[in-house]
Amino acid sequence: MSPPALPLEPGSTIGILGGGQLGRMLALAAARLGFDVVVLEQKADSPAGRAACRLIVADYGDEAALAQLAGLTNLVTYEFENVPSASVAWLAAHGVEVAPGSRALAVAQDRFEEKTFLNANGAPTVAFAKADTAQEAADAVAQIGAPALMKTRREGYDGKGQRWVEHAAGAVSAFEALGGVPVIVEAAASFVRELSVIAARGRDGATAIYPLAENHHENGILRRSIAPAHADAALNDQAERIAARVLAGLDYVGVIGIELFEMERGQLLVNEIAPRVHNTGHWTEDGCEVDQFEQHIRAVAGWPLGPTRAIARVEMVNLLGEEAEAWAKFAAEPETRLHLYGKRGSRPGRKMGHINRVRPL
């Protein structure tokens, strides 16, 4: 395939790898801009699949399905970072434009590579060490100091794939409980609060950075975000510098989520990055002139980036499990905007939707 003519004209088709709620909101944003969307997803009934003009049901590594996706689309993006890197490499090898690129995916899929990249690009993190064996895990905890957080290097989200090691003697059992797979051991962060910044970079290198959000987690799952966060100019400038360094270091195209710790003296440390639209950016749907989903489509399609100015103060609350069944109550609240994902069946902790409670700045 020849590279697509950029910027993509309305009426072009964008492929999305992944059929979850982020893919659904990307598909809806693309439709508003006049694009068609084809989703490649493993399940026949998925939130994004029902919002797309076409759905390909197959494993992400199915080369016949990837070839079909390539033939139907002008370019491809993805909704989550655990898409197999081999699938992105296959598309790229066959002339398909994929954004964000494979470099971002490779960095984000391995927590050790991620933190190594961040430190090399002037984005500070907590101290960390890698371990491939139980003995190396014990040595890493001894080096970092307990308490320490042990995480699998690959996969894991919403608090999965990680364990606190309260004492050095517990390192081996923690390693075994995580499956005996390669891990990263991270120093505990005595942070004041958790923040995040959503940022975008276009194909021309232009950047657009949203105001900071303050985030609150429960059981490893994001519960709510408040944005714009109360922050002085120095803190905002620090977040923008970090975002700019990450975007440039990855030669990034699209929207990225960067999770941050604010330390006691005002220093920001990067917790992790997500090369995609992000849960902590859902507030932008009702709080900004151009939300993160439209911004991502603009970026990958080669369009000018939109403004990121906040037009309202928003409290975003994730609706987990049966909480989404109170949709009628939320719909009746004048200050509340309801976003449901169309998932079939709820279970405890499953993200079924979110609400944005909107107030004047």
216: confidence class by pLDDT, cuts 50, 70, 90? very high
What is the pLDDT, as a whole number, of residue 92? 93
Instruction: Dump pLDDT digits (tens) for 340-360.
Output: 999 998 999 999 999 999 999
- Gap between the Cα atoms of 302 and 311, Å rounded: 25
Parts of the chain belonging to CATH 3.30.1490.20: 127-187
Parts of the chain belonging to CATH 3.40.50.20: 13-98
What is the pLDDT, as a whole number, of residue 157? 64
Instruction: Dump pLDDT digits (tens) for 44-58.
Output: 999 999 999 999 999
Comparing 112-126, 154-168, 238-252, 287-301, the range with the smallest average pLDDT is 154-168
CATH of domain 13-98: 3.40.50.20
Calculate mean pLDDT across residues 94-101: 95
The CATH class, in words, for 127-187 is: alpha beta
Number of CB atoms found within 10 A of residue 1's CB = 12
- Gap between the Cα atoms of 223 and 145, Å rounded: 29
Q: Among residues of the chain, what percentage have pLDDT more than 70? A: 98
DSSP state of 308: -
- Is the pLDDT confidence value at 218 over 90? yes
Q: With helix as H, strand as E and coil as C, how does 182-199 read?
A: CEEEEECCCEEEEEEEEE
- Is the pLDDT confidence value at 159 over 70? no
262: confidence class by pLDDT, cuts 50, 70, 90? very high
Q: Which CATH number fits domain 191-359: 3.30.470.20, 3.40.50.360, 3.40.980.10, 3.40.50.300?
A: 3.30.470.20
- Is the pLDDT confidence value at 158 over 80? no
